[in-house]
Structure formats: structure tokens, C-alpha cells
Amino acid sequence: MNCKQFNSISLEEVLLSLGHIPTKQNEKEAWYLNPFAAESQASLKLDKRINAWYLHSEGVGGNNTDFMKRYLKTSVNEVLYWAQKQNFSSFHKQEHIKKSKPNYRIDEIMDIQNPNLKNYLQERGLSPKIYDYIKEVRFTVGEKKLYAIGFENLSGGFELRNSFYKGSLLKKDISIINLNCGLQDISSVEVKNIKSVAVFEGFMDSLSFVEMQRSFAGDILVMNSIALLNKSIEHLKNYSDINLFLDNDTAGIKCKSQIIKSFPEAKDHSGIYSNHKDLNEYLIHRMKNNVSNKAGKQSEKSPEQEKQQERDQDPIIKNSNGFKRKR
């Protein structure tokens, strides 16, 4: 990646990846609190039309490279090295726009069959229980044929993962799936009127939730990119019971704060996996602990006791008011 390419990326997405969310914005501009110093009133203006910033409190501004040089306190080469490791969706869109013909094609979309993908899912703590929510996508990039787990979004695009590849194909968008967990079995009229949603940043965390949950009745909303936070918030207006399972990093905490600001009744469940970056990391940790415990000593519990222990280890419990942490 060179400076021209990096500067073509939406600065709004760059700021969001660093955990900075605008205090106010419209189609033309956005205002942020000073990212370089503490302040109570927003003084950094982002002009969306020219993708440039200006910090009124200090009288400086510029492009993406200028911002990251100041933010990271480093050289241009180090800024470009940092940018290369990111996965900015707006950069991928620019790449696609510049080419008259895309350098990729989707060859086949099918149910999960490849044993390597199944093994990868198992390593991530995921069982065949989640297969209904994903696809196996076979595609070609340049002359190279690849395959990956595909998670479809509302625009027909796919988030792609395997043990050595992370990317996306076609248009970037949020994903919404319905677990259809049998609301007809709930007798309470009050509960029936609650339209619930569980919110995640990435689809691996949402699949981890599907793996662990036993009684959640509602939708799952996956942002697929924190750059889609505002679009996610628009969709969340359709729900009366919002449950957040966002990452325990700076960007995730900022996203959570913004959602709770828009929906004060939203419930934060990140405490369930407070010692881990995200829900999938927590699931992997729990899986490894279970394997280690079984290898260390043979269980003397009856099958019913083992089932009860498994239920007790489930961190996510549904009741009439939403979720609570197992204590």
C-alpha cells in the first residue's frame, strides 16, 4: 500500500477502527473530540467530501497519512506498514471501482463439505450445530483457486474465513439471521411482544453465540465491520430488546457506548467474556479447558450429572427480561 492508496480510504472508517466515534455528523461532515488530547467539545472536523481533517483547537489538518503520522508518532513508512495490516472495507471498494473487470469470481456456493473447513471450525470451538448459518464458497482470485467459510450479508456479499484467509467478496453489508427458537412455546404475552436481537461485530462471535445458546428467541445482527455502525443502529430501531456482545477492545467499547447512547435500554453482556477479546476467544478457551480436564482425570459423574455440569458452564441464559450472567 502506498500513500495515494491509503489516502483514498475513508478517514471515517480509519477513525472508527481506532475507536473514535463522531459526536455529531451529517452527509457532508463529522465532528470528533480531539484524538490527540483530552477535550470536552469536539474540535476535529472531518470533511467527507474531500476526505480531509482539520483540528481547530490546534490549527492543523491534512489527509489520512498526516493524521496517522501524528496519531502513531511515527514515520510514513511505519504508517503504511500499519495500514497494510488493516482490513479497510472502503479500500477494497476502491480497488473494485478502479478495475474494469473484477480480479475474482465466485465458482460455487454450497453446504459445508470440505474437511479442512470443518477442522477449522472445530478449532474455533464450533460444531455442526452452526452449519445451517454458513456456506462453503469456492472462488478464484487472479489465477488462484480458493475456498472458505462464507457468511452472507443483506446485500448478497460474503464474509470469508479459513485458516489462512480473511476477506470479503462483493458488497460489504450487515447480516441479520433469525434463530427461530420457538416463541410459540412461551406463554407470557408480555414476552411474546418483545422483539429481541443479539448484536455482534464479527460472524465468528455470532456463530459462537449460536453454539452456546439454548433458548434465545430472536434475531442476530452482525455488523461485519465497525464502519457499518450507523447502519446497524438504524436496523436496531426495529427491536425492543437489544443485547450487545461486542469486542472487549477500544473499538468495541466505543461502538457499545454509541449504541447504548442511542438505545439506553440495551444490555451489555461483554462481562461474560471479560478476560477475553471476544466471545469466540472465550469459547475456544472454554473448549480447551474442558478437553484438558477430561484428559487429566476420568469423570466419575453420571451422564445426568455431566449434562447438568455442561448446562452450568453455559454463560448465556435467557429469561423473560433478556440475558443474565451465570453466577
Q: What is the CATH number of the domain that holds 257?
A: 3.40.1360
252 and 279 in a single domain? The answer is yes
User: For residue 210, what are the contacts with CB-CB under 8 A and spacing of at least 6?
Assistant: 129, 130, 133, 179, 220
Angle formed at CA 193 by CA 192 and CA 196, multiple of 5 degrees? 85
Find the mean pLDDT for residues 130-151: 87
Mean pLDDT of 129-153: 88
What does the pLDDT read at residue 229? Answer: 87
Question: In this structure, are 188 and 317 located in the same domain?
Answer: yes
Q: Which of 97, 126, 144 is the last residue of a domain?
A: 97
Least confident of 75-79, 88-92, 102-106, 281-285: 88-92
User: Domains in the chain: how many in total?
Assistant: 3
Last residue of a domain, one of 67, 97, 127: 97
Give the model confidence (pLDDT) of 232-258 as tens digits: 999 999 898 999 999 988 888 888 988
110 with 192: CB under 8 angstroms? no
Q: Is there a single domain that holds both residue 188 and residue 239?
A: yes
Listed range (18-32, 77-91, 269-283, 295-309) with the worst mean pLDDT: 295-309
Whether 111 shows a pLDDT value over 50: the answer reads: yes
> Is 216 part of any domain?
yes
Task: Read off the CATH number of the domain in which 64 is found.
Answer: 3.90.580.10
pLDDT of residue 274: 86
β-sheet bridge partners, residue 307: none
φ, ψ for residue 46, nearest 5 deg: -105, 120
**Which of 58-72, 172-186, 311-325 shows the highest mean pLDDT?**
58-72
Lowest average pLDDT, out of 128-137, 167-176, 264-273, goes to 167-176
User: For position 162, what pLDDT does the model report?
Assistant: 85
Sheet with 175-178, strands from edge to edge, namely: 175-178, 219-222, 196-200, 241-244, 267-268
SS3 34: coil
Last residue of a domain, one of 150, 173, 196: 173
Judgement on whether residues 225 and 184 belong to the same structural domain of the protein: yes
* Structure confidence at residue 91 as a pLDDT band (50, 70, 90): low
Does 222 reside within a domain? Answer: yes
Does a structural domain hold residue 147? yes
Buried b (16+ CB within 10 A) or exposed e, 68-85: bebbeeeeeeebbeebee
In a domain, 228, yes or no: yes
Domain that holds residue 114: 102-173
Residue 80 domain-assigned (yes or no): yes
Considering the domain architecture, whether residues 280 and 201 belong to the same structural domain is answered as yes
**Whether 292 and 202 share a structural domain:** yes
What pLDDT score was predicted for residue 112? 92
| CB-CB contact of 200 with 219 (8 Å) | no
Same domain, 196 and 106: no
Residues 160 and 292 in one domain: no
Residue 194 has pLDDT above 80, yes or no: no
Q: CA of 311: how far to CAs of 72, 149, 158, 214, 232, in Å?
A: 46, 29, 33, 9, 32
| DSSP annotation of 86 | S
- Answer whether residue 226 is part of any domain: yes
Q: Is the separation of the CB atoms in 151 and 225 below 8 Å?
A: no
Q: Give the separation between CA 161 and CA 83, rounded to whole angstroms.
A: 20
Evaluate whether residue 301 is within a structural domain: no
Is it the case that residue 298 has pLDDT exceeding 60?
no
Q: Are residues 93 and 157 in the same domain?
A: no
| Contact yes or no for 118/112 (Cβ under 8 A) | yes
CB 22 within 8 A of CB 32: yes
- Tens digits of residue pLDDT in 153-173: 988 888 888 887 777 787 888
Q: Give pLDDT, residue 208.
A: 93
Residue 54 — very low, low, confident or very high, per pLDDT cuts 50/70/90? Answer: very high
Residue 176's Cβ-count burial label (10 Å; 0-12, 13-18, 19+) is middle
Amino acid at 321: N
Looking at per-residue pLDDT, the higher value among 74 and 307 belongs to: 74
- 127-141, 197-211, 280-294, range with the lowest pLDDT: 280-294
The verdict on 181 and 314 lying in the same domain is yes
Would you place residue 184 in the very low, low, confident or very high pLDDT band (cuts 50, 70, 90)?
very low
pLDDT value of position 185: 34
What is the structure's pLDDT at 150? 92
Is 302 within a domain?
A: no
Is 207 in contact with 126 (CB distance < 8 Å)?
Answer: yes
- 124 plus 149 within the same structural domain: yes
Q: Which of 119, 114, 116 is nearest to 135 (CA)?
A: 114
In this structure, what are the phi and psi dihedrals at residue 172, rounded to the nearest 5 degrees?
A: -80, 135
Residues 88 and 106 in one domain: no
Mean pLDDT, the chain, rounded, equals: 79
Per-residue model confidence (pLDDT) at position 186:
31
Task: End-to-end CA distance of the chain: give it in Å, rounded.
Answer: 48
Check pLDDT > 50 for residue 20. yes
At residue 189, the pLDDT reads: 32
**What is the DSSP track for 123-181?**
HTT--GGGGGG-EEEEEEETTEEEEEEEEE-TTS-EEEEETTEEEEES----EEEE---
